[in-house]
Amino acid sequence: MHSPPPDEPSHFNATAHWRSLQDAIRRSWPNRHGRSSDVATLVGCSGGADSVALIRLLAELWAEDSAAIHTREPNRARVTAPLIVAHCNHGLRGEESDADEAFVRELCQQLQLPCLTHSVCVPNETDASPPANDEGTLRQIRRKFFQQTAQQHGCRYVALAHSADDQAETMLHHFIRGTGPLGLAGIAETSDLDTDLVVRRPLLQVRRETLRAGLREIGQTWREDASNQLTHYTRNWLRHDVLPLIEDRYPTAIEAMHRAARLQRETNEMLRRLADQWLETYSGFADDQWIIHTRRLANSTQAKVPSDEVATTHDWTTERPIIVTASQLAWDRLGWPRGAMTMEHWQRLAQLATAATTTFPATDTSMHRGPFPGGITLRLQPDCLVLRRQ
């Protein structure tokens, strides 16, 4: 359903909340040589308040850029890189899902923006397989649609409307699942979608209620997804039940989580550099396999053991946090699913890698302490560990 409009809508007279959102988008969006719209951008929009606010804010920013260029160069045509809106209709709520799509189309028509949609095929009554409705699968469907659409239209950026509340929910979700250091860093403001696409989240510092307040000020409606109230979904449970309790006792909890995520990301950058070096030195990739060269790792470790029992340079090659991070990077490089991998799994893998250096050469070539979630099997061979996805 549509959200209720304000009592006295003023579509173009921005007031306090909307002006703060305009300032936030100017600070967070890439700005090269005074222009924010140098490259084409795809904006994901569900029709909800957060993504509707993002579209309105970026459309205004693009218009500002065009006007600024015209002021500096009055004879130049007002041309900026395309701003394209993409909507994924999962079809899980029947007519309501179709109404969401219609709303996004109408909004784009009003803003004179191109709108591209994707409808997920919903099985009929005779189909044995039900439509995917778990959070992870739906997210992967949208990700693939955004990636393919952005590539087809020459976009450099994919803009998503994650808010500060989304960040807190993600961090809590990762924490209770037993995530590692990468998960504790929460959602990144920028991340690679592939080698040519960058995901940007310019509203990550903005509270969800501020976005809604800003939309009410300018008289912009949005859609409300009734399924967002169903607390059997983990995110909805965190949003409606857990976070309000935390904020009731600790009003600045969301801001504190952001600070923790920022510090964790800085630590992760250091770990990532060491993990990248570990990957390049002690492992390799071939035919959807990750190979850990235990012979090479063992030789390196043994060479660093001081013969006179006097401590020398610390050997970081067998530090578990580095091997865990290297393993997670390897999973990402191969496109293996990490969702079901807990810290216990990552620690077990790191333990196997370091144990192989002390028991080298290994003789057991049978399946060893596997498989891992996602159909990943591990085989211990005389000079290496071989991980492969079945």
Residue showing tokens 């990468």: 182
- Determine if the peptide bond prior to 130 is cis (ω within 30°): no
Q: What mean pLDDT do residues 51-56 have? A: 97
pLDDT value at position 126? 47
Average pLDDT value for residue range 218-232: 87
What is the average pLDDT across 322-333?
92
pLDDT value of residue 44:
96
In the chain, domain spans: 16-162+201-251, 266-389
When pLDDT is cut at 50, 70 and 90, the band that residue 365 belongs to is very low
Please tell me the predicted confidence (pLDDT) of residue 237. 93
What pLDDT score was predicted for residue 10?
41
Q: How many CA atoms lie within 13 A of 261 on its CB side?
A: 25
Amino acid at 168: A
Q: pLDDT for 90-103, tens place per residue?
A: 888 889 999 999 99
The SS3 of residue 345 is helix
Asked if residue 8 has pLDDT above 50, the reply is no
Q: How far, CA to CA in Å, does 385 sit from each of 16, 32, 309, 317, 328?
A: 59, 46, 30, 16, 16
pLDDT for the residue 356:
67
3-state SS assignment for residue 372: strand
What's the pTM value of the predicted model, to 2 decimals? 0.75
- Report the mean per-residue pLDDT for the chain: 83
266-319 residue pLDDT tens: 998 999 999 999 999 999 998 889 999 988 888 876 655 555 555 455 567 888
Of 66-75, 80-89, 137-146, 213-222, which has the strongest mean pLDDT?
213-222
Spatial distance between the Cα atoms of 276 and 390, rounded to a whole number of angstroms: 25
CA atoms within 13 A on the CB side of 54: 33
- CATH topology for the 16-162+201-251 domain: Rossmann fold (3.40.50)
- C-alpha span between 242 and 251 (Å, rounded): 13
What sign for the dihedral angle of Cα 250, 251, 254, 259? negative
On whether the CB atoms of residues 191 and 73 are closer than 8 A, the answer is no
Return phi, psi of residue 257, to 5°. Answer: -65, -35
